[in-house]
Amino acid sequence: MVPDVHKARCVRRVLWVGWCLGWWLAGALPVHAAPYEVEPESVGAQDLLALVEEGAISAETLSALLALRRTGVDLGLASRASLYGLPGLTYSDVDVLLRSRGEGSAAGGALTEAASRRLAPFLDGRTPGRLSGDARLMMAFAASDGLPPPLALQVRAGGSRGFGWD
């Protein structure tokens, strides 16, 4: 009688461990990309604003995508977290990019042609040794204002050896 009870306990333990392992794997296996509501196909600033007005993306997503467009991500220097922030890249895609960068090949070579086209607005395409940058003139006013509106000029420039101004 005792061996049967011992066998039953062992079977229950094995089944319980298998059940726990199954639930753990079910939660751990799905690999998702950065949580944007939609995949932005056309990523101009006006297109993104139109998506917000339609309710397809939230204001937080809009600000994240605009910040990515404004600053750009350098595939050769970016961290794993920065690369994961790009729309449509999963952690496995990011790991492939980092592995190709570690092997000395071009980091962008690990992307498919479709992914390269989709991510082009978010990537930093500056060539080393050249001065590049952007400037934005911002203002806020109401039609009832009697004075000229306040202005703000934001300039970003970068040059050789990572030297730049913000």
pLDDT in tens, 121-135: 888 766 666 777 778
Reference 40, options 97, 89, 1; nearest CA is 89
Phi-psi region of 97 (alpha: psi -120 to 50; beta: other; left: phi over 0): alpha
Residue from 150, 122, 110 nearest 34 by CA: 122
- Span 62-78, pLDDT tens digits: 888 888 888 888 888 88
- Listed by start position, the domains of the chain span 45-122, 132-165
What pLDDT, on a 0 to 100 scale, did the predictor assign at position 49? 85
Q: Is the pLDDT of residue 153 over 70?
A: yes
Give the residues across from 33 on adjacent strands.
90
Q: Which two tokens stand for residue 95?
A: 């790991």
Answer yes or no: are the C-beta atoms of 70 and 134 closer than 8 Å: yes
Phi-psi region of 150 (alpha: psi -120 to 50; beta: other; left: phi over 0): beta
> What pLDDT is attached to residue 160?
60
